[in-house]
Amino acid sequence: MFSLEGRVALVTGAAYGIGLAIAQALAEAGARIVFNCSRQETVDRGMKAYKELGIDAKGYLCDVTDEIAVKSMVADIERTIGTIDILVNNAGIIKRVPMTQMDVEEFRQVVNVDLVGPFICAKAVIPGMIRKGHGKIINICSLMSELGRETVSAYASAKGGLKMLTRNICAEYGEHNIQCNAIGPGYIATEQTAPLREPQPDGRPNQFDAFIKSRTPAARWGSPEDLKGPAVFLASDASNFVNGQILYVDGGLLASLGHHPE
């Protein structure tokens, strides 16, 4: 029930980081991988990574906020490879700026990529899934789908909206045997969170690094590898009666108040 043999998976923004790990897991379960990024150099970086992993992936230069480009990419995938069975809405950005100092255009850009992009991609693949009689959509949410913190107002707003888009796709398309769920990663060690982990300019440890380790029962940052199993589960027949759920893969962070300092 965990096999993805014969399935076509589009993982957006999957040149490195969480997207690459998820795509690798889906490939190891048998899926054919397609991915896209908004910069050619990133597509090239991704193609090199897949080749080194022995994965025959196809990469597209496509910005998830550009509906015309997304529809063209999906049509080309359907024509050259096959109908998309699995969509992972992974592409995302973050801007860490105190809200009162954030330009409205910066706010709009984050929401555009992190919320409008998944809408555009899901809207493009659902018709094919309906024709085929099944489909899996996995949105990559966040702890910020549930919690706020300083400097991430745009990101939290987008990821909170993505949680509700997940539930709405479930409600609207469940009758077509389409399951739309989300993975909510905790704090994962990728390029996106590097500024939260790197030592301070004077060489002292990053206080946020210590904070996250104290807030997380697992007492560590997650790795993209930690997301592989949950992704295969939600992409496979093993989750055919799971719909509209957010699966938090956070080392227990959301369940805990955190350790009282000694």
CB of 198 to ligand NAP, least distance (A): 14
Residue 224's φ and ψ, nearest 5 degrees, are -55, -30
256: CB partners within 8 A, 6+ apart: 215, 216, 217
Residues linked to residue 59 through DSSP beta bridges, in sequence order: 35
CB of 228 to ligand NAP, least distance (A): 13
- In angstroms, what CA-CA distances link 22 with 45, 89, 109, 130? 16, 11, 25, 24
DSSP 8-state assignment for residue 9: E
Q: Reduced to 3 states, what is the DSSP secondary structure of residue 17?
A: helix
Q: Does 39 bind ligand NAP (CB under 6 A)?
A: yes
Q: Does 73 bind ligand NAP (CB under 6 A)?
A: no
Closest CA to 26 of 57, 47, 70, 59: 57
Q: Does 139 bind ligand NAP (CB under 6 A)?
A: no
Query: What number of residues does the chain have?
Result: 262
Residues that bind ligand GCO (CB under 6 A): 94, 96, 142-144, 149, 152, 155, 185-187, 192-193, 196
CB of 78 to ligand NAP, least distance (A): 19
Which is nearer to ligand GCO, 135 or 186 (by Cβ)?
186
Task: Name which of ligand NAP, ligand GCO, none residue 19 binds, using a CB cut-off of 5 to 8 Å depending on partner kind.
Answer: ligand NAP
Q: Does 179 bind ligand NAP (CB under 6 A)?
A: no
* Known catalytic membership, residue 155: yes
Which is nearer to ligand GCO, 155 or 173 (by Cβ)?
155
The catalytic residue among 60, 155, 187, 248 is: 155
**DSSP H/E element including 10:** strand 8-12
Which one of the spans 7-15, 120-128, 198-206, 235-243 is the region binding ligand NAP (CB under 6 A)?
7-15
CB-based contacts of 167-173 (< 8 A; 24+ apart in sequence): 167/244, 169/122, 169/126, 169/137, 170/243, 170/244, 171/244, 173/126, 173/129, 173/130, 173/135
Residue from 10, 27, 37, 235 touching ligand NAP (CB under 6 A): that is 37
Task: Name which of ligand GCO, ligand NAP, none residue 13 binds, using a CB cut-off of 5 to 8 Å depending on partner kind.
Answer: ligand NAP
Number of residues lying near ligand NAP (CB under 6 A): 30
Task: Name which of ligand GCO, ligand NAP, none residue 140 binds, using a CB cut-off of 5 to 8 Å depending on partner kind.
Answer: ligand NAP
In the region spanning residues 75 to 94, those forming contacts with ligand NAP, defined by CB under 6 A, are 90-93
CB of 98 to ligand NAP, least distance (A): 19
Name residue, tokens 């908004």.
38
**DSSP H/E element including 122:** helix 117-132
Alpha-carbon distance of 173 to 256, in angstroms, equals: 34
Task: Name which of ligand NAP, ligand GCO, none residue 93 binds, using a CB cut-off of 5 to 8 Å depending on partner kind.
Answer: ligand NAP
Give the residue numbers annotated as catalytic, written as ranges: 155
